[in-house]
């Protein structure tokens, strides 16, 4: 089973509601022009069985709780419609109206119990709060109780916004990978993975710099490395040698296939799956990375 855990979908009425009508930026997201039927046809051509949809950087983290709830519910309802129409081809991570915790707990219950979503998506930071903030412990405890999954994604404008000129694209091109790294390290430093051991956490883009930190952490911070090794990392990186490095440094048992759809053209989208087959992994390890592990973690096909 081929499962893409890192695939985005942008309902137009949701983007309009939160004031993000310029997302996605089409020159870097050419596949965003595809409708759902065209997306399915492309998945068939490439060999992808299931995409797990998430809202990407356009999270409903609005200051007013009512506005945040309205936005989150709209996004989740639109995702649920797509999944209901194609239940074997799509699954979805819920968006939550954070940092408003009570409202988010209610939306979490609605999404997991009523809409059948497979987990939640969180920004690398949330309205000025880091993911390690104790504010989110009740959310983590509930996800842990449910043995559910978090898919983390950079949002920009958070951890690193002051380091980059917002008129340019470095915040996305460079900053997103640094957000991934800091989010993973902060979760590890706060021992979130071990304190909530039944909750699974997926960090995108191979964890940013995580593969390059393993030797340094092994020597200087082995406990922190142990926490990092409880996380999962998607395989998205277009440099084959970096993907190979991650297999060696992080271990293939922590990797799951992800593509960042629609941020690719068709050939790039195909290559993100094909390159996994050239890593020289034993057949059972390759099958785990390509989707069997994600299907098991998310309860797909069960």
Predicted structure pTM score: 0.94
pLDDT tens digits for 258-302? 999 999 999 999 999 999 999 999 999 999 999 999 999 999 975
Whether 69 has a pLDDT exceeding 70, the answer reads yes
Is residue 23 situated within a structural domain?
A: no
Look over the chain and give the mean of its residue pLDDT values, rounded to a whole number. Answer: 93
Q: Residue 275 domain-assigned? A: no
Close Cβ partners of 256 (under 8 Å, ≥ 6 residues apart): 3, 5, 202, 232, 233, 234, 235, 289, 291, 293, 294, 297
Residue 162's pLDDT is what?
Answer: 60
In a domain, 302, yes or no: no
276 within a domain of the structure (yes/no): no
Q: Which residues contact 71 (CB under 8 A, 6 or more apart)?
A: 14, 17, 18, 60, 62, 95, 97
Q: Is residue 279 one of the residues assigned to a domain?
A: no
Tally of domains within the chain: 1
| Element housing 235 (H / E) | none
* C-alpha distances out from residue 74 to 14, 77, 107, 127, 183, Å: 6, 5, 11, 20, 27
What's the pLDDT at 68? 98
* Burial of 136 per CB tally in 10 Å (0-12, 13-18, 19+): buried
d(CA 108, CA 97): 9
Residue 21 domain flag: no
Residue 41 located in a structural domain:
no
Residue 192 sits in a domain of what CATH number? 3.20.20.140
| C-beta atoms surrounding 93 within 10 Å | 28
Range(s) of the domain holding residue 206:
54-257
* CA atoms of 178 and 184, how far apart (whole Å): 10
In the chain, what is the straight-line distance between the N-terminal and C-terminal CA atoms, in Å?
A: 12
Is residue 235 within 8 Å of 270, Cβ to Cβ? no
Q: Is 262 a member of any domain? A: no
Q: What is the pLDDT at residue 11?
A: 96
pLDDT winner (highest mean) among 23-32, 119-128, 151-160? 119-128
């Amino acid at each position: 089973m081929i499962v893409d855990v890192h695939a985005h979908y942008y309902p137009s009425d949701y983007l309009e509601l939160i004031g993000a009508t310029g997302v996605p930026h089409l020159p870097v997201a050419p596949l965003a022009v595809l409708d759902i039927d065209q997306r399915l046809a492309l998945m068939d051509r490439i060999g992808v069985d299931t995409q797990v949809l998430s809202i990407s950087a356009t999270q409903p983290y609005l200051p007013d709780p009512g506005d945040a709830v309205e936005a989150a519910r709209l996004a989740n309802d639109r995702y649920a419609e797509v999944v209901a129409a194609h239940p074997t081809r799509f699954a979805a991570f819920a968006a939550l109206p954070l940092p408003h915790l009570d409202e988010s707990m209610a939306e979490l219950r609605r999404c997991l119990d009523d809409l059948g979503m497979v987990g939640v998506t969180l920004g690398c930071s949330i309205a000025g709060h880091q993911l390690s903030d104790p504010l989110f412990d009740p959310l983590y405890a509930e996800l842990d109780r449910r043995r559910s999954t978090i898919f983390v994604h950079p949002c920009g404008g958070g951890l690193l916004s002051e380091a980059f000129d917002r008129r340019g694209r470095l915040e996305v091109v460079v900053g997103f990978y640094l957000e991934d790294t800091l989010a993973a390290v902060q979760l590890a430093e706060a021992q979130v993975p071990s304190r909530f051991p039944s909750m699974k956490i997926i960090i995108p883009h191979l964890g940013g710099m995580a593969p390059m930190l393993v030797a340094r952490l092994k020597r200087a911070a082995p406990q922190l490395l142990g926490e990092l090794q409880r996380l999962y990392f998607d395989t998205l990186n277009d440099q084959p040698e970096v993907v190979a490095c991650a297999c060696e440094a992080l271990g293939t048992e922590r990797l799951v296939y992800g593509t960042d759809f629609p941020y690719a053209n068709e050939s790039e989208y195909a290559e993100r799956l094909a390159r996994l087959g050239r890593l020289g992994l034993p057949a059972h390890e390759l099958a785990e990375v390509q989707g069997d592990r994600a299907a098991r973690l998310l309860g797909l096909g069960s």
